[in-house]
Structure 1
Amino acid sequence: MVDERDQDTSSSSLPSLNKQLADTNLGGSADVPVVDLSFSDEGFLVRDLVKASEEWGVFQVVNHGIPMELMQQLQLAGKQFFDLPETEKDAVAKEEDFEGYKRKYLGGINNWDEHLFHRLSPPSIINYKYWPKNPPQYREVTEEYTKHMKRLTEKILGWLSEGLGLPRVTLSQSIGGDTAEYVLRINFYPPTQHSELTIGAAAHSDMGAIALLLPNEVPGLQAFKDEQWFDLNYINSAIVVIIGDQLMRMTNGRFKNVFHRAKTDRERLRISWPVFVAPRDDMSVGPLPELTGDENPPKFETLIYKDYIDQKIKGWALEDLPVY
């Protein structure tokens, strides 16, 4: 299961995290990789994806096959939901589970956002009471977008598998294949005059395997590399791909589980649509045997995914983090 804790901070997983969080300067000048998925030389494409996963843990993909009109419809439906009165949004408010609508969540850090969180796939885990009924096109658009997300995820995992010298289905099957869980979080970051002090989402790595994020045109997402933060420039129609903890663990550290954060904007509304992909709670995840051996022993323990989540939560020390 993927849950809202994917958006929190693990102080035990990033050296000198307090210092890095305290640095609110905007990022460096290096460009986060952009990969054109329509490139005819698949070998070159695979090398680009692997290099980006090894060096950055985050990249943007263009010409990915998702219709621009569908992405615009998804963005419109999301914004229309957050524009509703609070009483209507509360119709899908969080209860005992992680799914649903919440405003200004995450205690201990000044995270400035509203969000809607719900499962997308497989069908057996969907609870439609957390899917907005208003706007009326929300379900139809989101279900169509989910189909494209699953296809794109499988393509990217297939190319990454080939780049590791493995069969194309390896990484996908290692997170459960058709049983892998897809969850959507819509992040709504209203403008704030204190944008230099307020983090939309605190620094974190994603617990799951991979995330695919659709942003709006307002920049704010940053990735941590080489002891500094780098801005992800907005590219019209691009999807941001973020490597999570489980791909890092499965590849025995070859792929990077990038730390990233979101900044608010003084004047403009930021919205993003990340889709998180993770194994089922009961799946064992660890370094793949094909990638380990005497010369490259396993660097990580093989764990049931739920146990991994529990261990990471125990490592959190939110009270030690600075408040913005």
Structure 2
Amino acid sequence: MAPGEERVQALASAAIHKLPDMFVRLAHEQPANSKAIEGVKVPVISLSGPRDAVVDKMRRACSEWGFFLATDHGIPGPLIEQVKRVGVEFFELPHAEKEKLANDRSAGDFEGYGTKMTYNHEQKVEWLDYYFHLLFPPCKVRHERWPHHPPSYKEVTEEYNREIVRVTGELLEMLSEGLGSEKSVLRTCLGGDNIEFEMKINFYPPCPQPQLVLGVEPHTDMSALTILVPNDVPGLQLWKDGQWVAVDYVPDALFIHIGDQIEVLSNGKYKGVLHRSLVNKERTRMSWAVFAAPPQEAIIGPLPELVNEVNPAKYKTRTFAEFRHCKLNKLPLD
């Protein structure tokens, strides 16, 4: 942790009544001044339906929303609850224990326990602590950077990873079919067996003035797909048709976000979803996000079969490393 930084969880535990200025968003960004509309339901898709129907529903959801809730995905509910339990238990550890696994962003090491203290242009920061580590492929995984407590963390997370890899493969096949392509196309372009899976446990403690802050500011994910499960505290909002839409909690559903890499590969037919996270005054919000991303050297551009004189390429072809550098440093992508 850099000098002058303090964990958000520690601030919340100190029962402060007034937020430090660095957390207070500009007036137009504050949730009190940019409320989500009510009564709009996001797409919910059962993966157990007839394949043609599921592919069509997924195509429409990803074209119109860039997001959907997946049910009947085959991941056992008790396993999802175990994943949540071991994550909660880590954040309940004493401060000194968590700090033993703190990451070192200044050295380019993002794996471990951290606080989102990266400033935006307005010098505002997010009400968020997190734990981040690589899940897959095995040759790149550093288990020493995973939480050591609770002891069951490794076993539970590895079992969950196997399920997530399976589900991601199925989703990529159906998303490929929705583009009118061979079912293997997206997975192949994203690296095949070398697709990287990253776990990020987001921890948003109670906030004394939630109407003034954001847990995560509006963004699209630079990954290809994000598969997320939250606890039952609401907070995720999507940008749709010029307004914020709140996403309701659905037990055992997977929250599927289309990321930047699939938007590029689909030449804009699928949309990377702009989203943000709000926080709660009384309760801790948590979410478990797995990002499926291509390896750094993968070259990502619009699929050739989707580009012609009528539909020219809308995105530049580049390596994922180049894309990531531009995104992290807020450089132009065109």
TM-score by length of 1: 0.89
CA distance in 2, matches of 1:187, 1:143: 19
Written as runs of structure 1 = structure 2, the 5 A alignment for 1:66-215 is: 66-95=75-104, 96=107, 97-107=109-119, 108-215=123-230
CA distance in 1, matches of 2:267, 2:27: 27
AA at the equivalent of 2:114: K
Deviation string 1:103-138 (CA, Å, 9 cap, x unpaired) is 353333231111000000001111112101110000
Structure 1 counterpart of 2:291: 276
Deviation string 1:275-317 (CA, Å, 9 cap, x unpaired) is 0011111110000001111221111111011111222234369
Contact 1:109 1:202 in 2 (8 A): no
Contact 1:35 1:45 in 2 (8 A): yes
Match of 1:241 among 233, 256, 263: 256
AA at the equivalent of 1:294: E
Structure 1 counterpart of 2:11: none
3-state DSSP class of the match of 1:282?
coil
Using the TM superposition, name which of 307-316 and 133-142 deviates more: 307-316
Higher relative contact order (CA 8 A, sep 6+): 1
CA distance in 2, matches of 1:254, 1:28: 27
Written as runs of structure 1 = structure 2, the 5 A alignment for 1:269-308 is: 269-308=284-323
**1:65 pairs with 2:74:** yes
CA distance in 1, matches of 2:186, 2:28: 31
CA distance in 1, matches of 2:265, 2:70: 22
Structure 1 counterpart of 2:29: 21
Deviating above 4 A after TM superposition, structure 1's stretches of 4 or more consecutive aligned residues are none
3-state DSSP class of the match of 1:281?
coil
* Stretches of structure 1 lacking an aligned partner (at least 5 in a row): 1-17, 318-324
AA at the equivalent of 1:38: S
3-state DSSP class of the match of 2:139?
helix
Match of 2:64 among 49, 55, 59: 55
Deviation string 1:163-200 (CA, Å, 9 cap, x unpaired) is 11111111111100110110000001001121111111
AA at the equivalent of 2:44: V
CA distance in 1, matches of 2:37, 2:29: 12
Change (3 A) 1:312 1:19: farther
3-state DSSP class of the match of 2:100?
helix
AA at the equivalent of 1:220: G
Contact 1:182 1:277 in 2 (8 A): yes
3-state DSSP class of the match of 2:154?
helix
Bigger Cα Rg: 2
Match of 1:42 among 34, 42, 51: 51
AA at the equivalent of 1:177: G
Structure 1 counterpart of 2:282: 267
Report the Cα offset of residue 20 of structure 1.
6.8
CA distance in 2, matches of 1:209, 1:232: 21
AA at the equivalent of 2:98: K
3-state DSSP class of the match of 1:89?
helix
Structure 2 counterpart of 1:8: none
3-state DSSP class of the match of 1:166?
coil
Change (3 A) 1:114 1:314: closer
Report the Cα offset of residue 86 of structure 1.
1.0
Deviation string 1:70-89 (CA, Å, 9 cap, x unpaired) is 00100000000000011111
C-alpha root-mean-square deviation of aligned residues, in Å?
A: 1.6
CA distance in 2, matches of 1:103, 1:207: 19
AA at the equivalent of 1:225: K
**1:32 pairs with 2:42:** yes
Structure 2 counterpart of 1:321: none
* Stretches of structure 2 lacking an aligned partner (at least 5 in a row): 1-25
Give aligned pairs, total: 299
